[in-house]
Structure 1
């Protein structure tokens, strides 16, 4: 069920909007809605209109206030950047202006520019046009949000509380108060052709576009949800470019149009998860049976986001996986065996998958933050191994790759907590690194990640990175940026041991050559590499 964006992860639902979404979207879309929140929207065709932003795992939709139509604004896999803009919008007044969060989304669209109300006709479009105002549309008079009672959240505001000052406008530019609020059937073929031609953008040509969202709430979580969904989407869509990964997932996606499996009911998914859990938790289970059952759980979790969300609603299975990882890797003080590393890799891969697209699950936060983060601490410390301890280097490298992916997911959780106003959400990036820092293998683990980034980006071979290699590079870069920004000790370690390697061996030009431009994850990765080079100075 969708969640609103004010304050806590689980909030009171907007019954009217939720009912509208359920009626007007396919089940596969409705089931993957993460959040919705009202805000002021500005694009090329929508100018300061109070709307609902509806976010799924794959796309952002816009709908009027109150809802009448549901329109796809953009797909996360086409996003270039999502950033908070530090400004005070002149069209807001009073406390709304002071607490407003301005979010700018830059994305790639192949849609030609459309003006007026026509964007509402494109229910299946990938993107809205840019926010750059056309010379044919003069600037509108400022929009003023009336003061709202302090005890009411933005989701409770009535439409008549949003006052738009009537501007003087030319006949060729419709009133912004009506943009997006009335669905109008009109003949647009030749008219739109002329408009598109005037912009000089032909069908199928790519261009950057912007969408500006103004969340008028100090407790808004819209930016966090957008960032998290974007990370998940670019990872998923990049990995789905690998045919083997796509076959293993065997699920419908944007990258495989027309390939849809019959929907599995939530009750059926819950039954399957309960059955798997029962078999995994039975006493005296053999290592071989444990491995086979975990493979089944991992595959099922890759295919079904509902199973991943259900996973967090009972603590037993997560606690079991963490405990098994502890016993497998840290109960002996000897060199790891291949069986230990293979089982540990499977456990860590399964846990990492369970984190994806489950940010809106309050049960996840409750479980990981219970008893001052006891389970999260155990999970973090269980991950750490000595990268140089084992002679089975190939098997150990596979484990280290999986461990980096899980740590990346935990750091995403930490970034959300860092921006959260909830006093109970203490699992910040700083907290995570403070838990890990005393571990005897933490420095070596971070050093291994740094060496792998240097190795990949200084390799003279011109071969492209595979989708999986690109995702892993992105995750390792996020880890290094977190260490450089949030831990004085780890930042000093990286600068003293790897500054020269990054300075002389890592070149952005080489990274650009190795990261195919059609990978959704390439541009975000290049920005991270540039950030690391800057922070290493």
Structure 2
């Protein structure tokens, strides 16, 4: 979020405009006001506005506009209808010479809203196909390869955050220090759903069944005609879509509006895709009796004190972290409190270092318990980064002392993707736990690289933590190349013809994050680029084909950007 301040009741934007913030607090509903990520003054050009100096206001779902000074808050475009967000290299003639040179011209291409078609509503009701309106596919037009700009869970009954009647049950085959992830709701990548085919509509030319009344045949023929009409209507929907453009001119070379728009859009696409997964939807949906910000702050303090107390056992730590992850997934307020306090974040980094890096430095090997706990820590950190890219408290904590905590987090995150093969009886279970951790580590590294891109637009004291700086911090790590190589192999494996049919929503989002990670390595680090091109050129050439993208279902909002990333990877990895 774009807010800072002390106490849960004081929510002030990082780049505060007191008049605008007061207006938003009075005008916007509480749910919308809490989800405003940023705002910035700019010149707006569109069919509806013409040309005007306004404030662009970003939430996690839409772009709003308000006058200067503010009088009304108007929705400009929903991220669900956006096709592309890009920077335009031009010199706007309507600006002064000084402003023209430092202007950032942002063009948002989207599918315009169409008027309701009442004449066919009765057809849809008669055909039994009434439902939610289709979301415009976020297919983006081909352009140059982008850089990364954007990315009842185990508490016993009476949990402070959620109570769905699910209690932890420890299986005898697993250590009691780390309960079964299926029981406690660890977010694992499910197997792809089996493909299914729709049953064909009855044909009006089919002979009538013996003994069937003639009226039934007429009804069948009439229904068949309606079905064909509806199918023809859907076939022409793409042709009827009208593209529109919203132009935002930010008159500042240090403006973060473009990066904030990219980040908000990517976050929306990922979350919309994940919400298609029933398990994720159940976890992330807030309960009907949602608590206030004051109650959230009180409960977070209680949870923090329990996590940080001396002598806490591993099993209790595991359960408390699950509660923290679930609460952070559902509560914007808690994600802010997490970064403002800072103590829990430092504790999680220290625990991750003890679980993985401390063990490796002694020449030891991973255990299943260590990997399960490490996966939960990394998943919790990833959730707290949601909407944190413009949170001042986040950068203040991570960038302090020349990025000391951020460096520790990065080095603790990378691990050896190989298991100890000297213990074959446990290898299968250990490999599964390691794969789960590597998936989680990819998602967190995706968020950290996104933070690096955004820091380049910050003040000179903060812009040291760029993407290049992050990769330089990781360079001495002995397992960096194997870690990146593992992520590349997973992309090849998922997209090859050997991995089954369609990807699940969770798998699709993870593929998007992996592709972003690899693209960043190729564009910003010569050593990593050479490693990927040398070791994976043939795999990408022979196993990743244009037909590979068919594994991404058309109704996944993340599909369009992922397809574009795959095309860029094929171009860069195959480039000699």
Query: When the two structures are superposed, what TM-score results if normalisation uses the length of structure 2?
Result: 0.73
2:59 corresponding residue in structure 1: 56
Q: State the match for 1:300 in structure 2.
A: 327
Worse-superposed segment, 369-378 or 42-51:
42-51
Residue from 377, 382, 385 that aligns with 1:355: 385
In the alignment, structure 1 residue 494 sits paired with structure 2 residue 521 = no
Q: 1:356 to 1:12 in 2, by over 3 A?
A: closer
**Residue pairs, 1:69-468, within 5 angstroms:** 69-112=72-115, 206-251=241-286, 261-332=288-359, 333-390=363-420, 391=427, 392-460=430-498, 463-468=501-506
- Whether the 8 Å contact between 2:43 and 2:250 is mirrored in structure 1 is yes
Cα distance in 2, alignment partners of residues 204 and 60 from structure 1: 25
**Cα distance change of structure 1 residues 387 and 416 upon mapping to structure 2, 3 Å threshold:** same
Instruction: Tell me the alpha carbon deviations over residues 10-45 of structure 1, each in whole angstroms, 9 at most, x when there is no partner.
Output: 645222222221122110001111111111112222
Larger radius of gyration: 2
Unaligned stretches of 5+ residues in structure 1:
114-125, 128-200, 252-259
Structure 1 contact 516–522 (Cα < 8 Å) conserved: yes
**How many aligned residue pairs are there?**
439
1:470 to 500, 505, 508: 508
Alpha-carbon separation, structure 1, partners of 2:332 and 2:14: 21
Deviation of the 1:76 alpha carbon = 2.0
Matched, 1:526 2:553: no
Tell me how far 1:509 sits from its aligned partner. 2.8
SS in 1 for 2:463: coil
1:13 matched residue in structure 2 = 16
Q: Which runs of 5+ in 2 are unaligned?
A: 5-11, 117-134, 137-235, 421-426
Quickly say closer, same or farther: Cα 1:204–1:246, change in 2 above 3 A: farther
Match of 1:484 in 2: 522
Structure 1 CA distance, aligned partners of 2:432 and 2:384? Answer: 25
- Cα distance, 1:342 vs structure 2: 0.4
- Specify whether residues 431 and 110 from structure 1 end up closer, same or farther in structure 2 by C-alpha distance, changes over 3 A only: same
Rounded to whole Å, the distance in 1 between the matches of 2:40 and 2:525 is: 34
Match of 1:515 in 2: 552
- Contact conserved, 2:378 with 2:440, CA < 8 A, in 1? yes
1:333-367: CA deviation from partner (whole Å, max 9, x where unpaired): 32211111100000000001111111222111011
8 Å Cα contact 2:254/2:457 also seen in 1: no
Summarize deviations over 1:293-338 as a string: whole Å, max 9, x none. Answer: 0000000000001101110112211110000001011222322111
Question: What SS does the aligned partner of 1:89 have?
Answer: coil
CA distance in 2, matches of 1:412, 1:16: 31
Paired residue secondary structure (2:76):
strand
Alpha-carbon offset, residue 394 of structure 1 = 1.0
Q: Alpha carbons of 1:296 and 1:477: their partners in 2 closer, same or farther (altered >3 Å)?
A: same
Q: Could you tell me whether the CA contact under 8 Å between 1:110 and 1:205 is conserved in 2? A: no
> Helix, strand or coil for the counterpart of 2:387?
coil
Secondary structure of the residue aligned to 1:88 is: coil
Cα pair distance change 1:448/1:81, threshold 3 Å: same
Q: Is the 8 A contact 1:53 1:60 kept in 2?
A: yes
Report deviation, 1:419. Answer: 3.7
Distance in 2 between the 1:415 and 1:39 partners? 22
Any conservation in 2 of the 1:405–1:475 contact (CA below 8 Å)? yes
Tell me if the contact between 1:32 and 1:57 (Cα under 8 Å) persists in the aligned partners. Answer: yes
State the 1:533 CA deviation.
1.3
| More off after superposition, 320-329 vs 82-91 | 82-91
| TM-fit CA distance, 1:71 | 1.4
Secondary structure of the corresponding residue to residue 313 of structure 1: helix
Contact 2:389/2:454 (8 A) holds in 1: no
Q: Which residue of 2 aligns with 1:183?
A: none
The offset of 1:3, in angstroms, is: 5.9
Counterpart contact for 1:110–1:203, Cα < 8 Å: no
Per-residue deviation, 1:438? 1.3
| Equivalent residues of 2:493, 2:499 under 8 A apart | no
Task: Provide the aligned C-alpha RMSD in A.
Answer: 2.3
